[in-house]
Copies of this chain bind each other. A is one copy, B any other.
Amino acid sequence: MFRKAAIVGPGLIGGSMGMALRNRKLAETVVGIGRRRESLRRALDVGAVDECTMHVGEGVREADLVVLATPTAAFEAIMHEAAPQFRPEVILTDVASTKVRVIETISAALLERPDVAYIPTHPMAGSEQSGPLAAREDLFEGAVCIITPLTNTCPETRSTIRRMWEALGARTISMSPRAHDRLVARISHAPHLAAAALMAMVDDNEARLAGGGLRDTTRIASGSPDLWVDICRSNREQVRRALDEYVQVLQRMADALRDGDLGELKNMLHEAKRRRDRALADREQESS
């Protein structure tokens, strides 16, 4: 599918892509590009890349696929180095968790390179771990990958990227960048802050006494704060809106408790359970 894939930031997501691209023969060579020597060595050790470099321009020069898999805060600087060096007709993608601002940044950097085929994607996989040591070839098996094509993305590029993600095991869907950002604010970013807020509210003694319920509910709160601040910065407005909506639901619950309206509370719990059980059942059916 590709002769040479360059992965900028071969950590959990980028490293897992590298492994799968290599092992599934989707790319002849995978080059890892990073800022820290140690991290690149780990990516080599775990088999996420064939070779690596700390020079963005050098790394992307011969690639026919370039994947941006660093935190979004680094995109501008990376694109500044990479843009002049891209091969003509290269496919450029990113795997960031937010899209509207990312697309602005990357599109601005490509003004002089209209020949670059940029197509943003977001594989919805991951864990509270990070770094190349957490990478797994099967990370994307059964995951959903959202593709947010731009108005000028040509059908061949869409098709290639779609087929690549499907070969990595993901189910792809397309939507607009704005619809994407609203969606992930509601199903991922606000839930992350909701989990962190539960831990922020208790003290160490209380936390130690908690059972499996709180432990699971707050699993994602053990994720990298830097990564999540990067995500929140990049999707600030939608995350704030989702949090506001979440607070409204919680206040309905608090009101029901204050008024002794346990029937209302019961309806909300029933509806939440129904929705969750159904979503799980749908997912199982889709992946079987």
- Does A111 count as interface, using CB distance less than 8 angstroms? no
| Docked pose: A89 CA to B226 CA in angstroms | 59
Query: B196 and A194: CB pair below 8 A?
Result: no
Interface of chain A, main secondary structure? helix
Query: B192 and A213: CB pair below 8 A?
Result: yes
Q: Across the interface, which residues of B come within 8 angstroms of A278, CB to CB?
A: 204, 207
Q: Across the interface, which residues of B come within 8 angstroms of A275, CB to CB?
A: 199-200, 202-204, 207
Q: Across the interface, which residues of B come within 8 angstroms of A218, CB to CB?
A: 191, 217, 272, 276
Query: B213 and A220: CB pair below 8 A?
Result: yes
- Does A244 count as interface, using CB distance less than 8 angstroms? yes
- Does A155 count as interface, using CB distance less than 8 angstroms? no
Identify which of B186, B196, B246 contacts A206 (C-beta below 8 A). Answer: B186
- Of the four ranges (under 10, 10 to 19, 20 to 34, 35 or more), the interface on chain A belongs to 35 or more
A247-B250, A273-B225, A283-B208 known; A217+B217 contact, CB < 8 A: yes
1/0 contact string of A239-278 vs chain B (CB within 8 Å)? 1101111110111011001101010011011111101111
Query: B209 and A249: CB pair below 8 A?
Result: no
Query: A244 and B254: CB pair below 8 A?
Result: yes
Query: A197 and B244: CB pair below 8 A?
Result: no
- Does A210 count as interface, using CB distance less than 8 angstroms? yes
Within 116-145 of A, Cβ neighbours of B (below 8 Å) are at 124-127, 143-144
| Docked pose: A269 CA to B215 CA in angstroms | 16
Query: B187 and A209: CB pair below 8 A?
Result: yes
- For the complex of A and B, the 8 pairs showing the least CB-CB separation, nearest first, are A225-B269, A199-B272, A207-B279, A196-B272, A187-B210, A240-B257, A197-B249, A124-B211
Listed A/B pairs (22) with beta-carbon separation below 8 Å: A125-B211, A146-B209, A183-B206, A187-B206, A187-B211, A188-B213, A188-B214, A194-B198, A196-B253, A196-B273, A197-B268, A199-B271, A200-B271, A201-B242, A204-B278, A213-B220, A221-B276, A222-B280, A243-B253, A243-B257, A247-B247, A247-B254
Question: Which residues does A use to contact B, with CB under 8 Å?
Answer: 124-127, 143-144, 146, 173, 183, 186-188, 190-204, 206-223, 225-226, 228-229, 232-233, 236, 239-240, 242-247, 249-251, 253-254, 257-258, 260, 262, 265-266, 268-273, 275-280, 282-283
